[in-house]
Each structure stands twice: as structure tokens, then as C-alpha cells.
Amino acid sequence: MVRLSTLFEVLGDERRRHVTQVLREQESVGLATFAETVAARENGVEPDAPTRPEQRATYTALQQIHFPKMDAADVLNPRQVDRGGHRRRRHRRAHHVA
């Protein structure tokens, strides 16, 4: 069970509140689409209207900061966000360089 103080800490961030809203609306979503949807909400634009830099900044922050924090607090179901594509691309690139 998630402690109330942990829940308040996690949901105290606006971007993480957007994450929970998107997860309630969509059963499963890929990370790129997820980042685009969150970026659109943050910038008050249509879902397909955020700029590439806005999408990239949101994608990076979700992957490096917000998802790990939500995972650690046990408030994110990892099966809802397909992060596998990102890992495969990074692995392929690393393999190609080696």
C-alpha cells in the first residue's frame, strides 16, 4: 500500500499528474505517444501539436525522472507504458558503435 505522504509527493508535480490522467484515459500506450500527449497537455495545445523540442524534453524527463520516481513509489503500472522501443533503439545503437 502506498503511503499517503508518498502519494502527495509523487502527485505534487504537475507533469506526474498529467501522467496519471493519461494512464486513466488510455489502457496502454507507447512512450513516444505518451510523451507527445503529456507535452500537449503541459503546453495547452492539441495532442498532435507540441513542437519536437517540447516532445523531446518531456520524453527525456519522463524516462529519466518521473517514471522511475513513480515506479519506486509503486504508483505506476509499468505494463501501461511501453518503454521497450526506447531500450531496443539504445541497445542497437550501442551495438552498432561497438
Q: What is the predicted pLDDT for the residue at 94?
A: 38
What is the pLDDT, as a whole number, of residue 77?
75
**Residue 27: per-residue pLDDT:** 75
Task: Using the Cα atoms of residue 55, residue 51, residue 41 and residue 46 in order, give the sign of their dihedral.
Answer: negative
C-alpha dihedral over 46, 58, 66, 45, to 10 degrees?
Answer: -20
CA distance linking residue 62 with residue 35, whole number of Å: 7
pTM score: 0.74
Q: Measured between alpha carbons, how far is 42 from 39 in angstroms, rounded to an integer?
A: 5
pLDDT score recorded for residue 12: 93
What stretches in the chain show pLDDT beneath 70? 83-98
